[in-house]
Chains A and B, each alone.
Chain A
Amino acid sequence: AQTVTQSQPEMSVQEAETVTLSCTYDTSENNYYLFWYKQPPSRQMILVIRQEAYKQQNATENRFSVNFQKAAKSFSLKISDSQLGDTAMYFCALINFGNEKLTFGTGTRLTIIP
């Protein structure tokens, strides 16, 4: 079985600041993908960033980057220069290569304060 844990139910940060969202996971597989999805009030689930477990280099997408620590099974998301449009629920998720089931964490509600 695979599990994803997000220990921060809510976070808030001033606009333009940097914020880091935490995620830990557990899986018995060696090959998997990790994701961060964003869910704004419109409720659409939007992919923010993806990390392949076999890649040591941390993924980056513009202001979004991850800190992937495979041995520690940790996958945190850093948002730099935060913007009001970043206000949303953020979900960490895991999928094993041979399984295809995407397992989500419980989410972190992020509020960007003007």
Chain B
Amino acid sequence: DARVTQTPRDKVTEMGQEVTMRCQPILGHNTVFWYRQTMMQGLELLAYFRNRAPLDDSGMPKDRFSAEMPDATLATLKIQPSEPRDSAVYFCASGLGAGATGELFFGEGSRLTVL
């Protein structure tokens, strides 16, 4: 049963620490997305990739956030340095693109708490 895998599931860290979240998209999917979910802002798109190339990261705070796809099986989202306002659930999702079904398959999310 193909699924998107995210690690860690939960992370508690102190302000100023570096945080790296990892995502393994579904094999064969050519688009990968990072979303952030908070009570106040809902689901926000941070960045997305097509065929490993970054297409849009306008939703991401550039000074502290970075997103990469070192290879087709791994996407990373890094926060350095982390701040309490970064506390949220971060979702990775993958899909075949809007030209196919448009559907995105989500991982279970990484809940980040920055103290």
Q: Which chain B residue shows the least CB distance to A99?
A: B98
B45 lies within 8 A of A42 (CB): no
Min C-beta distance of A25 to chain B, whole Å: 14
Interface residue? A113 (CB, 8 A): no
- A84: chain B residues at CB < 8 Å are none
Report B1-59 residues with CB < 8 Å from chain A CB: 31, 33, 42-43, 45, 48, 50, 55-56
Partner of B48, one of A35, A37, A101, A104: A101
Alpha-carbon distance between A44 and B5 when the two chains are bound, in angstroms:
11
- A103: chain B residues at CB < 8 Å are 45
A101 lies within 8 A of B104 (CB): no
A100 lies within 8 A of B45 (CB): no
A44 lies within 8 A of B106 (CB): yes
B102 lies within 8 A of A33 (CB): yes
Min C-beta distance of A50 to chain B, whole Å: 6
Partner of A102, one of B50, B99, B104, B111: B104
Report B52-107 residues with CB < 8 Å from chain A CB: 55-56, 89, 91, 93, 97-99, 101-106
- B103: chain A residues at CB < 8 Å are 33, 35, 47, 50
Which of B31, B89, B102, B111 lies at the interface centre, i.e. has the most chain A CB atoms within 10 A of its CB?
A: B102
A–B complex contacts, Cβ < 8 Å, 29 sampled: A33-B98, A33-B103, A35-B102, A37-B106, A42-B108, A43-B109, A43-B111, A44-B106, A44-B108, A45-B91, A45-B93, A47-B105, A91-B43, A95-B98, A95-B102, A96-B98, A97-B98, A99-B98, A100-B31, A100-B48, A100-B50, A100-B55, A100-B97, A100-B98, A102-B45, A102-B104, A104-B42, A106-B42, A107-B42
Sample of 4 more A-B contacts, CB < 8 Å, known A45-B93, A95-B98, A101-B56: A33-B103, A44-B109, A91-B43, A102-B45
